[in-house]
Amino acid sequence: MWLIITEKDNTARRIAGILFGKYKNEKINGINVYLSSDGEKAVIGLKGHIVEVDYPAEYNNWTKIPIESLLQADLVKKIKEKKIADAIEKLAEKADLVTIATDYDREGELIGYEALEIIRKVRPDIRADRAKYSAITPDEIRKAFSNRAELNYNLAKAAETRQIVDLMWGAVLTRLISLSSGRMGKNFLSVGRVQSPTLRFIVDREKEIREFIPTPYWEITAVFSNSEKFSAKHEKRFLKKEEAEKAFSRIGETAVVRKFVEKNVKEAKPTPFNTTEFLREAGKFMPPDRAMNIAENLYMAGLISYPRTDNTVYPASINLKAIVKKFLNSEFAKEAEIALSHMKPSRGRKETKDHPPIHPVGIARKSELSKDEWRIYELVVRRFLATLSPDALWAVRNAEIDANGEIFRANGKKLLKAGWRQVYTYVKTEETHLPELKEGEILRVLSKKLEEKQTKPPSRYTMSSIIKLMEKYNLGTKSTRHEILKKLYTRGYVRGNPLKPTEVAFAVIDALKSEAEVITLPDMTAKLEEDMDRIEEGKLKQERVVEESRDFLSRVLETANREELGRRIIEGIRKDSVVGRCPECGRDLLIRKVKGRFIGCSGYPDCRFSIPLPQKGRLEITAKKCKEHGFSVLRLRPSRGKSWTFCPYCGYLEWKEKEKKTEA
């Protein structure tokens, strides 16, 4: 029998369809297997990595095992997907040839090897080869399976090296930081090649904001008129008050139009969705990990295409028109008409052959989906239709006005043809009015204004802007970025959106910067990528790369001052538990845990002020402050049901009030 192994179930089914025509779908251990009608060929899909590298179980006790011993440990490969492993073993018993048909990339090569290693345990001498394809189209697949190659051992080794290096650095530094600060159990503090540089970006930005000193500047605006009124801005931003005042006083009662330009400008429709852009847009109304989960569900329900892709160009193999036509009988009939009137797809910059851009593949009614599912589905549909719709057209006007030597500029824009804007309703249409002017025309100055303004600090990253930044620095992949962000939240490193780092985050980044700065920089990923390339070329050995990491980490462990590290992080933890100021003595109020949790004064035992807290459920401090008392708003996540937020001091005052009444 010929056994074909793919990266996931879905591709297994599609490949069976292409290679066998009709196929039989059987289950082994509940795992889908697709057989040719004579039963001589079988395709089975994995679930990505079905094994993972880890330390042997005896290293599990963080407090008893010295961290140094992790550096000498032999790593083991643990089977994560037992059912799949058993199923391929069973199939291998009957097979005389195995073809690895996982994704054609570094991780895919390793995923294939993992499956082959499991098979070789029962069939050490089985023949194995590799099918390489970059799109699941009949042509590509047939070509790939008739021109099979050898497995690329070096490529798989490169990916395995990444796993080992990531685990080693992650485990050693995670334990170092967690053990020295006493943050154990589910409160541990993590460190990693991707998460730590990402967190550093967020912390560095927060520092810039804290250290920002606003500087004043002056702006002059004036209202002019011919037959209509409009306002214009002085071309200069004045840094000195005297200069601004001098210019301001020069402005007389009339002015003259120096330049007036009017032109029509096309505004290109948006480009097809890749994962990053999709999450960015969904980020306007939903956190990315949730958006990704929903997209995953919609994909499995056959409503949208595969949501993990880098591609922003529709391949020729998709029948775009057929898809649009399906929407003529849907909630998007009007939008489909607009797309059909044009049908010229836009193209993004990145063109890859892995998967098409995210687009709808099936029709859903609003009533069939949950509220959030519908929002994501609608976003994908509207984006898709917009990429096929006509460009928008704007009438743009620019004027330059001379008021006694002081130059003002005014701009106007008016939407002439809405085009794709009627379809993709997530961008606001903002028009500004500027009447038609003539060069040399004399205007009246109706009023003028001199305003003092302040420069503003940079803004915090949002979920979508930080994902974009990670992409720019090659941190993580399209499939992992949103999960890395989620990690930063659950570790208590960031709160809210825009992302505000906690004091613990500051302390951890500071600690890492002084002990092992490279883990906080994108350079580590860049270096690892270079090493992997060289391993793939056969010019570098895995052992050398691992040895280099081992040397570095062992030096870190030798020199790190754990007491000092711990002190700094614990101080951060204390600051993070501050929820407000004590109304009795003015000192910090903290969330404390002494036989149950409560809010207590940091001045205890001098000050015994306290506020009770609910004992059950997970309690989080949000980034929001109560408008009335300046207290941190808390969020309670009960084990069942919806979470809610409250100001502990408001609750306390209400409770006091009630108590008074019952006494009376």
Q: Which residues of the chain form contacts with DNA (CB under 7 A)? A: 7-10, 45, 47-50, 52-55, 59-63, 70, 80-81, 103, 105, 107, 111, 162-163, 166-167, 169-171, 174-175, 178, 184-186, 188, 190-196, 296, 299-300, 308, 476-480, 483-484, 487
Q: Residue with structure tokens 């595969």?
A: 306
| Phi and psi torsions of 208, nearest 5° | -55, -40
For the purposes of burial, counting CB atoms within 10 Å of the CB of 440, is it exposed (0-12), middle (13-18) or buried (19 or more)? exposed
Q: Which is nearer to DNA, 484 or 611 (CB)?
A: 484
Residue 314 CB, nearest approach to DNA (Å): 20
Q: Which is nearer to DNA, 108 or 270 (CB)?
A: 108
Identify the helix (H) or strand (E) that includes residue 449.
strand 442-454
Contact 509, 196 (CB under 8 A): yes
Given the residues 113, 306, 424, 493, select the one marked as catalytic.
306
Q: Nearest CA to 343 among 386, 379, 377, 394?
A: 386
d(CA 508, CA 181): 10
Residue 536 CB, nearest approach to DNA (Å): 15
CA distances from 650 to 6, 440, 585, 590, 630 (A): 57, 64, 18, 16, 10
In DSSP notation, 426-443 reads TS----B------TT-EE
Contact 120, 163 (CB under 8 A): no
Query: Is beta strand 31-35 parallel, antiparallel or unpaired with respect to 216-225?
Result: unpaired
Q: Which is nearer to DNA, 398 or 480 (CB)?
A: 480
Contact 492, 158 (CB under 8 A): no
Residue 299 CB, nearest approach to DNA (Å): 7
Residue 325 CB, nearest approach to DNA (Å): 28
Q: Which is nearer to DNA, 101 or 194 (CB)?
A: 194
In DSSP notation, 25-47 reads EEEETTEEEEE-TTSSEEEEE-B
Residue 469 CB, nearest approach to DNA (Å): 14
Sign of torsion over alpha carbons 557, 561, 565, 570? positive
Q: Which is nearer to DNA, 195 or 274 (CB)?
A: 195
Residue 135 CB, nearest approach to DNA (Å): 14
Q: Which is nearer to DNA, 291 or 434 (CB)?
A: 291
Each residue of 99-131: b (16+ CB within 10 Å) or e? bbbbbbebbbbbbbbbbbebbeeebeebebebb
Report, in angstroms and rounded to the nearest whole number, the Rg of the chain calculated over CA atoms.
31
Q: Residue with structure tokens 């309690």?
A: 619
Q: Which is nearer to DNA, 174 or 180 (CB)?
A: 174
In DSSP notation, 350-400 reads ---SSSPPB-B-S---GGGS-HHHHHHHHHHHHHHHHTTSPPEEEEEEEEE
In DSSP notation, 489-526 reads HHTTSEETTTTEE-HHHHHHHHHHHHHHGGGGSTHHHH
Q: Which is nearer to DNA, 171 or 385 (CB)?
A: 171
Residue 403 structure tokens: 């008021």
Residue 590 CB, nearest approach to DNA (Å): 22
Q: Is 113 a catalytic residue?
A: no
CA atoms within 13 A on the CB side of 462: 12
d(CA 32, CA 575): 52
Q: Which is nearer to DNA, 79 or 415 (CB)?
A: 79
Residue 555 structure tokens: 């030096």
Q: Which residues contact 636 (CB under 8 A, 6 or more apart)?
A: 614, 617, 618, 619, 620, 643, 644, 645, 646
Secondary structure letter of residue 289 according to DSSP: H
Q: Which is nearer to DNA, 167 or 418 (CB)?
A: 167
Identify the helix (H) or strand (E) that includes residue 11.
helix 9-20
Q: Which is nearer to DNA, 108 or 648 (CB)?
A: 108
Residue 636 CB, nearest approach to DNA (Å): 22
- Among left, alpha and beta (phi > 0; psi -120 to 50; other), residue 533 is alpha
State the amino acid at position 348 in one-letter form.
G
Residue 122 CB, nearest approach to DNA (Å): 22
Residue 200 CB, nearest approach to DNA (Å): 12
Residue 63 CB, nearest approach to DNA (Å): 6
Q: Which is nearer to DNA, 103 or 400 (CB)?
A: 103
Residue 492 CB, nearest approach to DNA (Å): 12
d(CA 7, CA 354): 13
User: Catalytic amino acids?
Assistant: 306
